[in-house]
Amino acid sequence: MASFPAVLQSEWTKVRSVRSTIWTLALTFVVTVGLGALLSLLTNNNFEEFTRGDNGPFDATGTAFSGIMLGELAIIVFGVLAVGNEYSTGMIRVTLAAVPQRGTLLTGKAVVLGALAFLVALVTAFVTFFLGQALLGSHSTGLGEPHVLRAVFGAAFYLTMLCLFSAGVTAMLHNQTLALGVLVPFFFLLSPILSAVPKVKTLAHYFPDYAGSRMLLVYEQSGQPYGPWAGFLICLAWTLAALVGGALVLKSRDA
């Protein structure tokens, strides 16, 4: 029977020894920071044009995080690869032979992936924010302003939960190609399309990507179905459901 610290050490070794997982984490940082910086600079240089017709307050924090959508894709791929690589190579059989307690195994994976994703996401969020504000010039904001610090941490928690949600889905499907084939269309096709259809957009408001985006709000606008804290709870519920589903499938199915 493997001890839990040994499981954590094993999972950490797996993650850092597979180059593709490290690259996807690095890509999360580069894409989110780089695109956010570019859009912040463009906004500062074309501020009057970009904000024409906008009656609400300018959201400098949201502008800095404009690149988070592509960062989402990278962190989703990281979560899928970190779990799916073992299934694609057949190493999951060796892992289960060493750690037959499948609940312990998935918990160890979730702890390692969650800690690593949160560390990268937190650094990404703060670098994105500070660089974006520097490029916004006189239109910038600061961490001391109301709700700004909460929004920055919200970005980090959102990326972390997306990673764990993707890992849980991959554990349920036992196939990284199938998991990507489900997750990418869900987040980048189905959710945006349903959000634009009046009769079903209410349903789309409770998808994890929409709920997670509420966590980045600094100014709550009228007409929004709920605020940042409700968005956090909804996104957390999706994440826990995916991980529980992954644990149930892992316990009931052979590798």
Tokens 């052979």 sit on residue: 254
Q: Where are the alpha helices (DSSP H) in 174-227?
A: 176-185, 191-195, 201-204, 208-214
Nearest CA-CA partner of 191 in 246, 125, 238, 229: 238
* Cβ-contact 167, 75 below 8 angstroms: no
* 217 against 165, higher pLDDT: 165
**Alpha-carbon span 112 to 186, nearest angstrom:** 25
Give me the mean pLDDT over the 196-204 stretch: 82
**What is the residue extent of each domain of the chain?**
4-252
Euclidean distance between CA atoms 222 and 239, whole angstroms = 28
Per-residue CA distances from 23 to 117, 166, 191, 250 (Å) = 13, 17, 27, 27
Q: Which of 135, 146, 162 has the alpha carbon at shortest distance from 234?
A: 162
Structure tokens at 173: 């499907």
140-to-7, 57, 163 alpha-carbon distances in Å: 45, 12, 30
Least confident interval from 175-179, 184-188, 218-222: 218-222
Q: What is the pLDDT of residues 103-152, one digit of tens each?
A: 888 889 999 999 999 999 999 999 999 999 999 999 999 999 999 999 99
Average pLDDT over residues 190-201: 82
- 107 closest CA partner among 180, 157, 164: 164
The mean pLDDT of 224-239, rounded to a whole number, is 93
Q: What is the mean pLDDT of the chain?
A: 89
- Buried b / exposed e along 130-152 (16+ C-beta atoms within 10 A): bbbbebbeebbbeeeeebbbbbb
> H-type helices in 90-222, by residue range?
92-98, 102-136, 148-173, 176-185, 191-195, 201-204, 208-214
pTM: 0.93
Residue 247: what residue type? A
Tell me which of 96 and 77 has the higher pLDDT.
77
